[in-house]
A and B are shown apart, each in its own frame.
Chain A
Amino acid sequence: MVVDDDTAISEMIGIILRAEGYEPEFASDGAEAIELFRTMRPDLVLLDLMLPGIDGIQVCSAIRSESGVPIIMLTAKGETADVVQGLESGADDYVVKPFNPKELVARVRTRLRPVLPETAETVAIGDLVIDVQGHEVRRGGEKIALTPLEFQLLLALAVKPQQVFTREMLLEQVWGYHYKADTRLVNVHVQRLRAKVEHDPDNPRIVTTVRGVGYRAGAVS
Chain B
Amino acid sequence: MRFEWRATWDRLRRFWRTSLRARTVAITLVLSAIAVTAIGAYISSSVRANLFESRKDQVVIETGRAAAAAQRVFDEVGRSGEAQDLESAQRAATEAIRQSVSTAPLVAVLRAPTAGGQAPIENQADFDFDTNLISDQLRAAVLDSGTSVVSWQSVATVTAAGREAPALITGAIFDVQGQDYQLYLVYDLSDVQDTLDFVQRTLLLGGMALVLLIGAVAYLVVRLVVGPVQVAAETSEKLAAGHLEERLPERGDDELATLARSFNRMADSLQRQIRQLADLSRVQQRFVSDVSHELRTPLTTIRLAGEVLYDQRDSFPPATKRTTELLHAQTDRFELLLADLLEMSRYDAGAVQLEVEPTNLVRLVDDSIEAMMPLAAERDTEIRLVAPGGYFEAEVDARRIRRVLQNLLGNAIDHGEGKPIVVYVDSNADAVAIAVRDYGVGLAPADMARVFDRFWRADPSRQRSTGGTGLGLAISQEDAIVHGGELDVWSEPGRGSCFRLTLPRHRGELIGASPLALPPDDVIDLVEEPVI
Contacts and interface: CB of A to CB of B under 8 A. Distances in A.
Interface residues of B, number: 24
Contacts of B300: 9, 12, 97-99
Contact of A97 (B296, B311, B355, B393): B296
Nearest to A168: B367
B450 interface: no
B229 interface: no
Given A12-B301, A97-B299, 5 more contacts: A12-B308, A76-B293, A77-B289, A80-B353, A180-B402
B394 to A, nearest CB: 12
A16 interface: yes
Contact of B292 (A76, A101, A104, A212): A76
Contacts of A8: 298, 301
A13 interface: yes
B220 interface: no
Binding site of B, secondary structure by majority: helix, strand, loop or mixed? helix
Given A180-B367, A180-B402, A12 B304 contact: yes
Nearest to B358: A212
Nearest to B303: A98
A100 B293 contact: no
Contacts of A102: 307
Given A80-B353, A100-B307, A212-B358, A9 B393 contact: no
14 contacts: A6-B298, A12-B301, A15-B304, A15-B308, A16-B308, A98-B300, A98-B303, A98-B304, A99-B304, A100-B303, A100-B304, A101-B307, A101-B308, A183-B357
A197 B302 CA distance: 44
Instruction: Name the 3 nearest CB pairs between A and B, nearest first.
Output: A98-B300, A76-B293, A97-B300
Contacts of B301: 6, 8-9, 12
B299 A98 contact: yes
A79 interface: yes
Interface string A90-101: 000000011111
Nearest to B351: A79
A50 B402 contact: no
A9 B294 CA distance: 12
Contact of A98 (B311, B335, B402): B335
A98 B296 contact: yes
A50 B293 CA distance: 8
A76 B301 CA distance: 12
Interface in B296-331: 296-305, 307-308, 311
Contact of A16 (B293, B299, B304): B304
Nearest to A95: B300
Interface string A1-44: 00000101100110110010000000000000000000000000
Contacts of B335: 98
Nearest to B306: A100
B292 A77 contact: yes
Contacts of A183: 357
Nearest to B328: A100
B307 A80 contact: no
A30 to B, nearest CB: 16
B308 A76 contact: no
B353 A9 contact: no
A76 B355 contact: no
Contacts of A13: 304
Contacts of A99: 300, 303-304
Nearest to A4: B297
B234 to A, nearest CB: 36
B297 A6 contact: yes
Interface string B330-366: 0000010000000000000000010101100000000
Contacts of A16: 304, 308
Contacts of B292: 76-77
Interface in A61-113: 76-77, 79-80, 97-102, 104
B296 A80 contact: no
A102 B293 CA distance: 22
A77 B304 CA distance: 17
Contacts of A12: 300-301, 304-305, 308
A88 to B, nearest CB: 16
A19 B311 CA distance: 12
A73 B300 CA distance: 14
A58 B307 CA distance: 32
Contacts of A77: 289, 292-293
Contacts of B311: 101
Contacts of B367: 180
